[in-house]
Amino acid sequence: MGVASIGIIGAGQMGNGIAHVMALAGYDVVLNDISEDSLNSALARIEKNLERQVSRDAISEDDKQTALNRISASLHLPDVGQTDLVIEAATENEDVKYKIFEGLVPHLKPDTILTSNTSSISITRLASRTDRPEKFMGFHFMNPVPIMKLVELIRGIATDDATYQTCLGIVQSLDKTAASAEDFPAFIVNRILIPMINEACYTLYEGVGNVASIDAAMKLGANHPMGPLELADFIGLDTCLAIMNVLHDGLADTKYRPCPLLTKYVEAGWLGRKSKRGFYDYRGDQPVPTR
């Protein structure tokens, strides 16, 4: 299956990063969102990140301009349907994703491959709401997309080998590494990572250590580049909670029970960096622990 054009639904942090690397690798990109402001912000962010690569001599000025010229933005979902491969990168909410795919299906070309950048939701369930479960799979990029080298490829129960091989070829064309995962809750990376973050929340909740000591312990004691609470703020506490709920619901094991403190922060709207407050307060010149 030849892929020349790629549709990306959702112009947020993940969507604009995926558009960036796809355009730089030579694919024509249609970036879709329901908000014109989000699209404009995404295009500005892509240009800024490409310029950063130029300043580091990672790419040339011509590479930057050519990549930008390959990206078109659209508020209309049907425009995405005429691409060869679609990557849904909307919010981590199953009902939202269902509505997107159901709205997209009538506008697809017969051979268009559908994928989702979901970090935890069942690929088999998402595929079942489309007309082509055999041409559907998980295409999970890591954040920030232009820097992180891993992509998880997740087959649903019906995904055929041609679809997998096509997506594998795209990952390789991006100079990234694919990790093949089975379709179980949270796949590989988040099955391991998010419960660790949840355990850090429990360590804070139970008073074993404060925010600064927990993060310092894991950075200096386990050689992690970021502490787990700092990383949670970077990911988004709402996303962490959503993944813990998927694990808890999908595997029915109490070890995946979301920490009540994590739930409380999300209920307060303290979602991390994107809301300027989470386990750290980002409203000043330097992040300050909130506990």
**Active-site residue list:** 119, 140, 152, 190
Distance CA 132, CA 110 (A): 9
State phi, psi for 90 to the nearest 5 degrees: -85, -175
Q: Answer yes or no: are the C-beta atoms of 93 and 242 closer than 8 Å.
A: yes
Neighbouring C-alpha atoms within 13 Å toward the C-beta of 131: 11
| DSSP assignments along 15-42, one per residue | HHHHHHHHHHTT-EEEEE-S-HHHHHHH
8-state DSSP, 129? T
Sheet holding 150-155, edge to edge: 71-74, 28-32, 5-9, 85-88, 113-116, 136-141, 150-155, 177-181
